[in-house]
Structure 1
Amino acid sequence: MSGTLLDTEAVIGCPHGGRVVATTSPADGVRLAGAAVVTAAHGYAVTGCPHTVDDVPTPCAAVRWTAPDTGVTVAGVPVLLDTSAAQCLTAALVPQGAPVVQAAQRKVVVR
């Protein structure tokens, strides 16, 4: 699997327009132009999701990523790519669709 390496500056949203942000970052992580490369070990939160089901607010709250087996790791943990499988989840862990990764300005491609 190939794709663009994700960092904490990547613009990622939930399928309903909320913003996805990495909530944890290891102090010894690898950085690209000052932004930490994100891995499967990071936590990810969603803010500002307006999703409702039958007029009941059901916002995305977190994202669960599955890191591809590229062989590229940071501190032994697989890195995430813009092509990595992921699922946005409610606070009750109900799947709500895949996050949307916008094109990154910095390009590091893993092949």
Structure 2
Amino acid sequence: MSGTSGSLLDADAVIGCPHGGRVTAAGSPSGGVRIAGAAVATAAHSYVVTGCPHTVDGVPSPCVSVRWTAGSTGITVDGAPVLLDTSAAQCLTAAFVPQGPPVMQTAQRKVTVR
């Protein structure tokens, strides 16, 4: 496996949509792996967006969810790949129209897989 690195995402990560909405885990991420008490996020978790003000031609078109494409880091929790701040993701409308990647502010909890 070759050099994958990034900061782990956890339940305390501050994530937003590109328009200023807030991204949160639907329910509480659970699992056996925690960082400073917060569950490590995995591709198995669902994420919702609230408060997105985005409009298209005056019609509300808010981001409502995030779809992650977890890379093959080789690191899993309960069989699901962990999410890193370098994991590919898209914020989506209710009609699943991509509206851009989420904006992440994470604590520097580095993971490197060689």
Q: How many residue pairs align between the two structures?
A: 109
Return the alpha-carbon distance in structure 2 between the equivalents of residues 90 and 35 of structure 1: 28
Q: Does the CA-based 8 Å contact 2:64-2:92 persist in structure 1? A: yes
Equivalent pair of 1:20/1:44 in contact (CA under 8 Å): yes
**Deviation for aligned residue 1:64:** 0.1
* CA distance in 2: counterparts of 1:14 and 1:77, whole angstroms: 23
TM-score computed with the length of structure 2 as normaliser: 0.90
Cα deviation code 1:39-74 (max 9, x no counterpart):
000000000000000000000000000111111110
Give unpaired runs (5+ residues) of structure 1. Answer: none
2:19 is equivalent to residue 30 of structure 1: no
Which residue of structure 2 lines up, in the alignment, with residue 73 of structure 1? 76
Which 4+ residue blocks in structure 1 deviate beyond 4 angstroms? none
Partners of 2:70 and 2:45 lie apart in 1 by 11
Instruction: Tell whether 2:48 aligns with 1:48.
Output: no
User: Normalised by the size of structure 1, how large is the TM-score?
Assistant: 0.93
SS at match of 2:99: strand
Which stretch has the larger CA shift, 37-46 or 16-25? Answer: 16-25
Q: SS of the counterpart of 1:96?
A: coil
Counterpart residue number, 1:99: 102
Give, in whole Å, the separation in 2 of the partners of 1:37 and 1:21. 13
Structure-2 separation of matches of 1:44 and 1:26: 10
| 1:73 partner amino acid | T
Matched, 1:3 2:34: no
Cα deviation digits, residues 14-53 of structure 1 (max 9, x gap): 0000000011345433111111100000000000000000
